[in-house]
Amino acid sequence: MGSLGVVEDVPHGITCRFAAVLSTADGRLFVKGVPADDVWGRTGQAWEAAVNAVVTAVSPRLLWQVEVGGWELLGFEAVDGRHADLSPGSADLPLVAAVLEEAQKLKAPSGVGLPQYVDRELGGAVSSTERELLLGDALLHTDTNPHNLLIGDGRAWLIDWAMPAAGPAWVDVANTAVRLMEDECGPAEALEWASRFESWRGADPAAVAAFAGATCRAWEARVGARGARASNSRFEALGAGREV
């Protein structure tokens, strides 16, 4: 890694407890980590390491993985950027679409045991028929919130692959469209944005309805009807937008 120079602390997310950009004689790198006894955090980092070789077109390359001093650390190529702005009319929206379009080409790697999205996220809220509609072999990020979308040098990066899954490619488009709605885009604008993706245009309306309905049921079971109302209204709009 070379001799250590400047250490820049950066805000960390829910899947890590430490994050910093290190400047060394060999260049800059981004390091994230969790305590060695953090089972959930280590699971996320293990997934991130397992899929990194597949996602380097859209995400920084993993350079190393070490355990030292009671911490498990991942070292990535550092990229300069800011979190994406998903609000109406934002100049970031085409850049986010471009990186997600590239990510749509990725297939779930074999041999790493990736779960199906429907089983991990919606297992208790779908029928067997609905489950069949939501199986797929695309590699899904599953958490395309603005903090995982960095904008810099005229492009977007999709970072933090700690919760990957397999499923239909349009699922990441659907979840990102909901993120647009959360950032004050209206349903019509979010659906128009989603319509640029071939996977979304070709999605089976019955599968989208199953996805939206199961997501609403799962979230209501978790937080209650009142707590789920705002989020569920967005997924309902998403499902309605793909009805035949």
pLDDT in tens, 149-194: 999 999 999 999 999 999 999 999 999 999 999 999 999 999 999 9
Give the separation between CA 93 and CA 79, rounded to whole angstroms. 19
Interatomic CA distance for residues 136 and 116, integer angstroms: 7
Asked whether the CA dihedral 200, 145, 97, 137 is positive or negative, the reply is negative
C-alpha 180/C-alpha 157 separation (Å) is 17
User: Given a cut of 50, is residue 6 above it in pLDDT?
Assistant: no
Q: What is the model's pTM?
A: 0.92
> Does CATH place domain 83-240 in 3.40.50?
no
Place of tokens 């909901």: 178
Residue with tokens 């260049």: 27
Task: Please indicate whether residue 18 or residue 209 has the higher confidence score (pLDDT).
Answer: 209
- pLDDT category, 8, cuts 50, 70, 90? low
The pLDDT, as a whole number, for residue 203 is 97
- Structure tokens that stand for 157 in this block: 């990066």
Task: Characterize the bridge pairing of strands 165-167 and 149-152.
Answer: unpaired
> Which one, of 102, 218, 237, lies nearest residue 178 by Cα?
237
Average pLDDT value for residue range 83-92: 97
Name the band, by pLDDT with cuts 50, 70 and 90, for residue 18. Answer: confident
Question: What is the third-level CATH fold of 4-77?
Answer: Phosphorylase Kinase; domain 1 (3.30.200)
Give domain limits for the chain. Answer: 4-77, 83-240
- Tell me if 4-77 shares its fold with 83-240: no
C-alpha separations of 184 from 5, 8, 90, 113, 207 in Å: 41, 32, 11, 37, 26
Q: Where are the alpha helices (DSSP H) in the chain?
A: 39-55, 92-103, 117-122, 128-133, 170-182, 187-194, 198-201, 205-240
